[in-house]
Amino acid sequence: MIKLPESDAVIFDMNGTIIDDDIFHEQAFVEFFRVHNLPYSVEDFRRDHRAARSNEIMEALFGHLSQEESNKLAEEKETIYRRLYAPHIHAIPGFLDFIEQLRAQETPIALATSSPQLNVSFTIDALGLQWKFNQVVTGREVVNPKPSPEIYFLTAERLGVDPSECLVFEDSPVGIAAAVAAGMRVIVRGKTDNISPLILGCISDYTEVEL
């Protein structure tokens, strides 16, 4: 457990931070590739598109698309993901106890994720997190995705706190960069071998944790 000052707010990323779902996104893309007769493997996906948003991936795969076409294809893939992950979804060990500790301390809590709204609702409902977060902010509410700090600035604004008072739990290089650029302290979950020394050097409170 982590003892936090009462003035601090805590913001969680979702994918890779409170749930481990990378493999199910990969499986969903493989099924999506097969349905659309695309000669793509999971290795191709990891090499070319792992850090991209679904709409960006659709543009790369299908060429120029209207926003409506791109959104439709992206949601097709996300529907596959939810179907595959639903029987397996669970929180990272310790997370549910930790969030109850934060609530007992009356610490403001938010979720700030680039995931689509339907995936966010799916996760919150499956984990019983309804009413656990003071704010939920998704990528659709900002213009610039992580590593832009926009989503974290918006989250702090909605929590009514200064960004410097926020502690962020993240797992990815782009998410860490976004939180650091917003002037927030960061706790990183997972291995650090894919995080550049430059990013690590900017983190004021760096800890490797397994929630």
Enumerate domains of the chain plus CATH numbers: 9-20+90-209 (3.40.50.1000), 22-85 (1.10.150.240)
DSSP 149: S
Whole-number pLDDT of residue 58: 85
Alpha helices (H) along 95-162 = 95-104, 117-127, 150-159
From first to last of the 211 residues of the chain, give the pLDDT tens digit: 555 655 589 999 999 999 999 899 989 988 999 999 988 777 877 777 665 677 778 888 888 889 899 889 999 999 999 999 999 999 998 899 999 999 998 999 999 999 999 999 999 999 999 999 999 999 889 999 899 999 999 999 999 999 999 999 998 888 999 999 999 988 887 654 444 443 444 444 444 433 3
CA 119 to chain centroid: 11
Q: Is the peptide bond before 116 cis (omega within 30 degrees of 0)?
A: no
Residues 6+ apart with CB under 8 A from 34: none
Give dist(CA 205, CA 188) in Å, integer.
Answer: 9
Whole-number pLDDT of residue 64: 83
Give dist(CA 92, CA 184) in Å, integer.
Answer: 23
Whole-number pLDDT of residue 191: 53
Whole-number pLDDT of residue 88: 97
Asked if residue 99 lies in contact with residue 1, where contact means CB atoms within 8 angstroms, the answer is no
E strand or H helix at 52: none
Whole-number pLDDT of residue 190: 67
3-state DSSP assignment of residue 179: helix
What residue type is assigned to position 109 of the chain? I
List Cα–Cα distances, 104 to 4, 83, 108, in angstroms: 12, 34, 10
- What region does 167 belong to: left with phi over 0, alpha with psi -120 to 50, or beta? beta
DSSP 128: T
Edge-to-edge strand list for the sheet holding 166-170: 135-138, 109-113, 9-12, 166-170, 185-189, 208-209
E strand or H helix at 138: strand 135-138
DSSP 85: H
